[in-house]
């Protein structure tokens, strides 16, 4: 009698979590200062670490690994420890709107799978370390409103997947790296409210995907760049001088242009010729060139700006003349500021214009 043959397949049982990740989270907790009964009170052995508040895990290689750590707006104090680099499967690290201090550890460069880094609105100090550029999969970097100093690493231009860079509201110095021109996917770039110097790099004109550019409140000078896809361009206050290019009309998607608090213009006729090209932009909503050195007659072409225009700011220049009655064609205008100057005011009715400053 032939005996039956039985075959058995032993299936590996997935582990519920990785000890390395758990130990890294516990070490991270020791560097943080939580409020009583705060978010970190769940970080204990009564729960598996993937169930701790702010922690998200995914199954990778038959193990649960930490892929997202979100602790934004929790009033957490303390600092970001080097052990964070042990969370090697982390895709997203969001610690914004807390009270973190100290510096960004160099070990953050070990997080090579990370796509989103947000440390906005803390009190983090020190420099933006070159090691952060090892995170080659980063798509969003937001370090806005901290106390960062030093220069922006030129190696940031090697981070080819970047879509958003926000570094505003710090104390960064030096120049805008020319290597930013390599970031072909970049859509939003903010470096406003720092201490950056020298000119606005022509290399930025290579950023064909860029739609929002914030460079105001720096010490920039020299020239403006033409970046054809821009929707928002903020260049004030700075130390920009000379004439505004008369080809800004090529920015067909522009909705918001701020040139205020610079030294643009010569106080002469012809300073405002650039406005003619802006009449070709159909989606324009805000235009400000207040507190500059523009001179000449109040331009009649202003009445041909987009009917979507909502806010116009001209105050504190050397413009003279009369405001044309046809300004009423701007049917969506709500704010019109012409303030001090030799302008004769005879305002026609502007349907929705609530604020007319004199």
- Between 343 and 104, name the one with better pLDDT: 104
CA distance 190 to 277: 26
356 has a pLDDT exceeding 70: no
16 has a pLDDT exceeding 90: no
CB of 36 closer than 8 Å to CB of 20 = no
354 has a pLDDT exceeding 50: no
- 10 Å Cβ neighbour count for 61? 8
Q: Please give the full DSSP string across 296-318, using - where no structure is assigned.
A: EEPPGGGGGS-TT--EEE--SSE
For 153, which DSSP code? P
Confidence (pLDDT) at 202 = 77
CB of 329 closer than 8 Å to CB of 348 = no
User: How do residues 30-63 score in pLDDT, each as one tens digit?
Assistant: 999 998 889 999 999 999 999 999 999 999 988 9
User: How do residues 133-184 score in pLDDT, each as one tens digit?
Assistant: 999 999 999 999 999 999 999 999 999 999 999 999 999 999 999 999 999 9
CA distance 45 to 27: 14
Confidence (pLDDT) at 2 = 52
298: which 2 tokens? 């109040």
């Amino acid at each position: 009698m032939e005996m039956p043959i039985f075959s058995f397949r032993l299936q590996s049982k997935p582990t519920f979590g990785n000890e390395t990740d758990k130990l890294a989270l516990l070490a991270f907790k020791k560097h943080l200062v939580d409020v009583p009964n705060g978010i970190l009170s769940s970080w204990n052995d009564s729960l598996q670490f993937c169930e701790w508040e702010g922690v998200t895990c995914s199954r990778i290689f038959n193990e649960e690994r930490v892929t997202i750590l979100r602790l934004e707006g929790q009033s957490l104090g303390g600092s970001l420890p080097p052990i964070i680099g042990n969370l090697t499967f982390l895709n997203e690290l969001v610690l914004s709107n807390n009270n973190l201090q100290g510096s960004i550890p160099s070990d953050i460069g070990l997080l090579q799978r990370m796509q989103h880094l947000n440390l906005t609105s803390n009190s983090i100090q020190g420099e933006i370390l070159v090691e952060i550029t090892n995170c080659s999969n980063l798509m969003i970097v937001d370090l806005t409103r901290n106390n960062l100093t030093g220069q922006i690493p030129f190696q940031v231009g090697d981070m080819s997947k970047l879509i958003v860079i926000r570094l505003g509201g710090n104390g960064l110095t030096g120049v805008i790296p020319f290597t930013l021109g390599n970031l072909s996917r970049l859509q939003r770039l903010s470096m406003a409210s720092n201490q950056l110097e020298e000119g606005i790099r022509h290399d930025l004109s290579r950023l064909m995907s860029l739609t929002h550019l914030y460079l105001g409140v720096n010490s920039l000078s020299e020239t403006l760049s033409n970046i054809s896809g821009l929707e928002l361009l903020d260049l004030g206050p700075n130390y920009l001088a000379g004439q505004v290019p008369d080809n800004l009309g090529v920015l067909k998607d522009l909705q918001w242009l701020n040139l205020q608090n610079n030294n643009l213009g010569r106080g002469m006729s012809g300073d405002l010729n650039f406005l003619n090209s802006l009449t070709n932009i159909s989606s324009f909503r805000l235009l400000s060139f207040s507190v500059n050195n523009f001179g000449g007659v109040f331009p009649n072409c202003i009445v041909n700006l987009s009917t979507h225009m909502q806010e116009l700011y001209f105050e504190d220049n050397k413009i003279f003349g009369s405001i044309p009655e046809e300004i009423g064609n701007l049917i969506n205008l709500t704010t019109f500021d012409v303030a001090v100057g030799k302008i004769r005011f005879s305002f026609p009715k502007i349907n929705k214009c609530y604020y007319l400053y004199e």
